[in-house]
Copies of this chain bind each other. A is one copy, B any other.
Amino acid sequence: MNAEIIAIGSELLTPFRQDTNSLYLTKKLNELGVEVSFKSVVGDRRENLTCAIQTALSRVDIVILMGGLGPTEDDLTRECAAEVLRKPLHRDPQIIAALRARFASRGWKMSPNNEQQADVIEGAEVLPNARGSAPGQFLHINDQGGEAVVILLPGPPHELTAMFEEQCLFRLRRLTPSRHIATRELKIAMIGESMADHRAAPIYKKRTDVETTILAGTPGEIQLHLRAQADTLEAAQKKVDSLAEALEDEFDDAVFSSKGESMEQIVGYFLEMKGATLAVAESCTGGLLAERITSVPGSSRYFLGGAVVYDNSVKTALAEVPARLIQEHGAVSAPVATALAEGIRRKCNSTLGVGITGVAGPGGGTEQKPVGLVYVALTDGKKTEVADRKYPGDRNRIRQWATQQALDMVRRRLMK
């Protein structure tokens, strides 16, 4: 079976907004064995919306309409769907009562235009909206004109996802052939996309029973998405797992995550498992490393703190880097990266210390120390290692590469 997802709303045809619900719905539909063949975006104009629905019905089995279910004149999805399907709309007194109750519970009076939210296409099942006012609708049509499914969902993502999970999944499962789908996601650190594909392709291309997608995540992260279908979940799982195993053999410890976890989460797991703590001193990454680590809930259990040492005087004040060392070698140098790592470790009394210094650009580069040059140091108080790298891309990408390098060094040290 295949589907078309139509996002409705003139704001989605401006340069400022984009439909993102369709990514969520595609994931869920694929899990049911339904392929998405088309996605469309259409504004709140009657003839355009009618045309989009008509076109979709002519070319797919399942049509999902998102948005345009509110109480205003611009909300035309119910009317246009009914028109294309040549079915009447009936105003449902139960929905009106629920709407009135919803308004009353907030102490508001319901204006009459809200009643159009109670218009139900003949034959549709009403999908209650747990998080908003507009209910959805689910139509399974099976008559002389053929079989089709039309689903009307609200546009706001938190309303749409809740309604799809609770009201649509089980209904669709009844209609779709019972297939079981298993997925795996491997993440690989610090290898470029073309090199990763060059190494992975000979392995996954042999396995036509598993669909493999290779994607570049943030700089320093390559994702391999595996997906297989079978009659039982066990059989599908076996397919993806055996391919995942072959890929893990090829990439060895460059694979940092095999179930979708982020690098920050993995570093957190390792730190907690080893009972270790971390402190960081960063110059060119400007706080991004600390920000990534602390984006993980519970990171206060292993992350003690850090210093953002932009000015040279602050490298001395917060991370005890001797001013003389900076004068001798320059702020962007292996000795200063080392001193930052060792200094912040002492200051914060942590198990591990990281120091980063480099040229994020666009200005500040020289022939000897060009934009993209970064030194990353890691110490446990006994042994200090320093990586020097030259990263491609703009300021933002260079900063991301450098933090990924630092996190990967922490991960590799803790794995030992």
A interface residues with partner B (beta carbon < 8 Å): 11-18, 20, 23-24, 26-27, 30, 35-43, 45, 48, 51-52, 55, 59, 213, 215, 223, 225, 279-280, 286-291, 293-295, 297-300, 303-311, 313-315, 317-318, 347-349, 361-364, 395-396, 399
Known contacts A20-B18, A286-B290, A290-B286; A311 and B304 CB within 8 A of each other: yes
Closest Cβ neighbor of A315 among chain B residues:
B305
Q: Judge whether B348 and A311 touch: CB under 8 Å.
A: yes
Closest CB of chain B to A289's CB: distance in Å? 7
Known contacts A40-B40, A307-B318, A313-B348; A294 and B286 CB within 8 A of each other: yes
Chain B contacts of A17 at CB under 8 A? 215
Pick the contact of A41 from B30, B39, B55, B59 — CB < 8 Å? B39
Chain B contacts of A37 at CB under 8 A? 13, 42-43, 45, 48
What is the CA–CA distance of A317 and B320 in the complex, to the nearest angstrom? 12
Chain B contacts of A299 at CB under 8 A? 286, 310
Q: Judge whether B317 and A311 touch: CB under 8 Å.
A: no
Q: Judge whether B311 and A300 touch: CB under 8 Å.
A: yes
What is the CA–CA distance of A117 and B260 in the complex, to the nearest angstrom? 37
Pick the contact of A225 from B16, B42, B291 — CB < 8 Å? B16
Q: Judge whether B348 and A317 touch: CB under 8 Å.
A: yes
Chain B contacts of A289 at CB under 8 A? 287
Q: Judge whether A362 and B307 touch: CB under 8 Å.
A: no
Q: Judge whether A42 and B51 touch: CB under 8 Å.
A: no
Most B-side CB within 10 Å, residue of A20, A306, A315: A306
Interface of A is mostly: mixed
Closest CB of chain B to A12's CB: distance in Å? 8
Closest CB of chain B to A221's CB: distance in Å? 13
Q: Judge whether A313 and B308 touch: CB under 8 Å.
A: no
Q: Judge whether A310 and B317 touch: CB under 8 Å.
A: no
Q: Judge whether A215 and B310 touch: CB under 8 Å.
A: no
Q: Judge whether B26 and A13 touch: CB under 8 Å.
A: yes
Q: Judge whether A318 and B347 touch: CB under 8 Å.
A: yes
16 pairs from A and B in contact (CB 8 Å cutoff): A13-B36, A14-B30, A17-B215, A37-B43, A38-B52, A40-B40, A280-B308, A287-B308, A291-B291, A295-B396, A304-B314, A305-B309, A305-B310, A305-B318, A314-B347, A314-B348
Closest Cβ neighbor of A277 among chain B residues:
B311
Known contacts A30-B15, A318-B305; A298 and B48 CB within 8 A of each other: no
Q: Judge whether A307 and B305 touch: CB under 8 Å.
A: yes
Chain B contacts of A295 at CB under 8 A? 286, 395-396, 399
Most B-side CB within 10 Å, residue of A286, A317, A361, A362: A286
Chain B contacts of A14 at CB under 8 A? 26, 30, 213, 225
Q: Judge whether B294 and A305 touch: CB under 8 Å.
A: no
Closest CB of chain B to A101's CB: distance in Å? 22
